[in-house]
Copies of this chain bind each other. A is one copy, B any other.
Amino acid sequence: MARHAFEEQLDVLHRSLMSMGTLVEEAIHKAIKSLVERDADLAQQVIEHDTMINELEHQIEIGCFRLIALQQPVGSDLRRLGTMLKLVTDLERMGDHAVAIARTTRRLMVEPYVKPLIDIPLMADHVKAMVRDCLNAYITRDKEAAREVALRDDAVDKLFSTIFRDLIDVMSSNKQSINQGTHLLFVAQYLERIADHVTNICEWIFYLNTGKMTDLNK
């Protein structure tokens, strides 16, 4: 396979990866929106669209393996394919977390919220921005941007702790809210997980640029 053919194939995979990233961003956005606005239809959409994310993951994986087999790349070309293989795993898991949030929306439709959701959408805004910015850092192969994004995980962890404490307080003062409170705690945890996956991706952007794994946020 000629050089330009390799680049072309890689470009196709790259575009699929970007589509996958966009779908994941949308899934997170819609899942949280469905939760805040109690929109069961939107939640259902998130659940159904996850198939597309999984499908893209498999397509990209198979595409990477095929390209490795045909082109037998070395050095930075191989790193680009290796990084892509790792990235799709993280993106797919983020999509699963969005689905878990959408399922929570449906579970919580039976009762009104004890109090309006404020910190969860705030945490989601942070996380969505991290997802977008890490995908941009990947496209531009900007390792300093990746490092900056990974550091933002601390703010997400802090928000998680705040939400945890607040929900425990709410549940303690009103035992009718315990079921709802625990489900909302899970939602906050899904968001925290998504941010962890972003950190993984940032570490892979580092690897892509330097050939070395770096612990960006532990």
Contacts and interface: CB of A to CB of B under 8 A. Distances in A.
- The secondary-structure label for the interface of chain A is helix
Interface in A43-95: 58, 61-62, 65, 68-69, 72-75, 78-79, 82, 85-86, 89
B58 A69 contact: no
Interface string A149-179: 0000000000000001001100110010011
Integer count of this chain's copies in the complex: 2
A68 B81 CA distance: 11
A68 B78 contact: yes
B89 A61 contact: no
A114 to B, nearest CB: 14
Nearest to A65: B82
Contact of A178 (B72, B74, B168): B168
Determine the interface band of chain A, counting residues with CB < 8 A from chain B.
Answer: 20 to 34
Given A89-B86, A168-B178, A178-B178, A69 B65 contact: no
A123 B198 CA distance: 30
A125 to B, nearest CB: 24
Contact of A75 (B69, B79, B89): B69
A182 interface: yes
Among A58, A75, A171: residue with most chain B CB under 10 A: A171
- Tell me which of A69, A74, A75, A86 has the highest count of chain B C-beta atoms within 10 A of its own C-beta: A69
A209 interface: no
A36 interface: no
Contacts of A167: 182
Which 5 residue pairs across A and B have the least CB separation, nearest first? A72-B72, A69-B74, A172-B175, A171-B178, A58-B213
Interface of A: 58, 61-62, 65, 68-69, 72-75, 78-79, 82, 85-86, 89, 164, 167-168, 171-172, 175, 178-179, 181-182, 185-186, 189, 213
9 contacts: A58-B213, A62-B213, A167-B182, A168-B179, A171-B171, A171-B175, A181-B182, A185-B185, A186-B189
